[in-house]
């Protein structure tokens, strides 16, 4: 009788303790203890949901007094490969030496010889303008153009006689055009046509010749 009474007391105390324990057990997963960054304390028997994080690891340290301490430590980020960028060597600029340009050499045009030159002429005895003008390289009109007249023809004196310049007609002879001359008459005198005389002396289309002018003839 006494034994049954003692067992009833023991069962009552055990039931009371069980109810008290169940009442005090937390219903939610453990949270991080304040002030312990990265460490979580979990009570034994309590379901814990662990969310995987590639940057963290989970280490079980417990048990201590029915508790297990789960330490979550961040993992070291993977080392990034060091990329060495080698600067490309820039080519050295080549200093070009300017090439001097050849300078044009001025060549003066060849001067055209004068049509008429003056020569020293000794007046012979009984000379006349017609006699002096018998030369093909002068004429009475040419002598008059240079101021010579019959009064200047004093025998034995030297005068400056204008004549056609031979250098003006290389390979040909100078002819002084007189009064009444035409391209046709001059051509017949020297055995050429008026067209040939025109071509040699660059006459115009009218075959014009001027008195006292110098033409080149064969």
pLDDT digits (tens, 9 = 90+) for 118-177: 999 999 999 999 999 999 999 999 999 999 999 999 999 999 999 999 999 999 999 999
Does residue 165 contact residue 118 with C-beta atoms inside 8 Å? no
pLDDT digits (tens, 9 = 90+) for 197-218: 999 999 999 999 999 999 999 9
120 and 205 in a single domain? The answer is yes
Is position 84 within any domain? no
Residue 160 lies in a domain: yes
At 211, which CATH number? 3.10.350.10
Domain limits for position 211: 116-217
Q: Which residues contact 158 (CB under 8 A, 6 or more apart)?
A: 120, 121, 122, 123
For the chain, the domain total comes to: 2
Q: Is residue 206 part of a domain?
A: yes
Query: Cα(201)–Cα(210) distance, rounded to whole angstroms?
Result: 12
pLDDT digits (tens, 9 = 90+) for 45-67: 555 555 555 555 555 555 545 55
The verdict on residue 130 lying in a domain is: yes
- pLDDT at residue 100 in the model: 76
Closest CA to 46 of 30, 61, 34, 32: 30
**Per-residue confidence band for 109, with pLDDT thresholds at 50, 70 and 90:** confident
On whether the pTM is more than 0.75, the answer is: no
Tell me which residue has tokens 């169940």: 22
Same domain for 125 and 65: no
Q: Is the pLDDT of residue 89 over 70?
A: no
- 50 and 130 together in one domain: no
């Amino acid at each position: 009788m006494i034994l049954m009474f003692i067992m009833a007391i023991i069962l009552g105390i055990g039931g009371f303790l069980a109810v008290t324990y169940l009442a005090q057990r937390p219903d939610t997963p453990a949270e991080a203890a304040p002030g312990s960054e990265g460490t979580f304390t979990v009570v034994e028997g309590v379901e814990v949901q662990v969310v995987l994080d590639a940057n963290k690891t989970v280490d079980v340290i417990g048990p201590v007094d029915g508790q297990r301490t789960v330490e979550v430590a961040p993992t070291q980020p993977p080392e990034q490969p060091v990329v060495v960028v080698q600067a490309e060597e820039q080519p050295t600029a080549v200093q070009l030496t300017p090439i001097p340009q050849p300078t044009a050499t001025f060549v003066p045009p060849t001067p055209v010889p004068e049509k008429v030159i003056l020569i020293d002429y000794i007046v012979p005895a009984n000379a006349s303008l017609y006699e002096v003008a018998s030369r093909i390289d002068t004429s009475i009109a040419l002598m008059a153009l240079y101021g010579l007249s019959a009064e200047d023809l004093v025998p034995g004196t030297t005068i400056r006689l204008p004549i056609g310049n031979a250098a003006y007609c290389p390979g040909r002879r100078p002819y002084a055009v007189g009064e009444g001359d035409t391209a046709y008459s001059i051509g017949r005198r020297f055995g050429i046509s008026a067209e040939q005389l025109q071509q040699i002396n660059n006459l115009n289309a009218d075959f014009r010749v001027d008195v006292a002018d110098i033409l080149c003839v064969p």
